[in-house]
Amino acid sequence: MLLFTESVTIADSPGGIWAHLADIEQWWAASSRDHIRLEIASADKSLMRGTQVDFEERIGGVRMVASGRVVSLHPEVELTWEGTAVYHCLGIRLRVGEGMKWRIATMGDAAIVSASLWVVFPENVIGRLVGWYCRKIRRVVEGGRKHLREELDSLRREVEEAEKPGPVAVRAVVPAAIAAAS
């Protein structure tokens, strides 16, 4: 099994971060040049528990196609996707279990956003061989960490550069009778 986590501090509230994170179609494709395709199977493209999410990307230079569902969703706190992915490596198509968890933890006026990715290789000779090759030769853990860091940095820029509502101008309206009396 491969498991790695990267984190970034974002200068915004969990609610502000969640608004961007949950709108994955808005930021995901541009967050890494390794992202190829994203499909969210809900009419309004919103993420909720059970929503089917399929995507294609490269992790550590290895192309994969994944299909799964949102299995846990706690707004402003956590989103977990789990499914299967088919990695194309050494001319072999290897089906693995895969998951991704995004977490938001409050830290003063900011929040720490972490992304964890796990891959479970099959417990057969091919799975062990490809798992070893991916870890030792292709160095997918290092490539995967870099990939997560790109996504997190892109999300941070998206959130921090978003136009925030400014102060609301309040104008006093004085009824004509009061204005005439003064």
pLDDT, position 30 = 92
pLDDT for 12-47, tens place per residue?
Answer: 999 999 999 999 999 999 999 999 999 999 989 899
Which of helix, strand or coil describes residue 37? strand
Q: Would the pLDDT of 170 be above 50?
A: no
- Cβ atoms of 156 and 8 within 8 Å: the answer is yes
Q: Which residue has the higher pLDDT, 175 or 12?
A: 12
- Cβ atoms of 81 and 100 within 8 Å: the answer is yes
- Cβ atoms of 59 and 147 within 8 Å: the answer is yes
pLDDT for 109-167, tens place per residue?
Answer: 999 999 999 999 999 998 888 888 878 887 878 888 999 999 999 999 999 998 666 55
Burial of 133 (C-beta count, 10 Å sphere; 0-12/13-18/19+): middle
pLDDT, position 180 = 58
Confidence of residue 181 (pLDDT cuts 50, 70, 90): low
pLDDT, position 175 = 54
pLDDT, position 169 = 45
Confidence of residue 91 (pLDDT cuts 50, 70, 90): confident
Which of helix, strand or coil describes residue 70? strand
Q: What is the dihedral of CA 36, 97, 61, 42, to 10 degrees?
A: 10
pLDDT for 40-84, tens place per residue?
Answer: 999 898 999 999 999 999 887 789 999 999 999 999 999 999 999
Q: Please give the domain boundaries of the chain with CATH numbers for all domains.
A: 2-181 (3.30.530.20)
Its pTM surpasses 0.75: yes
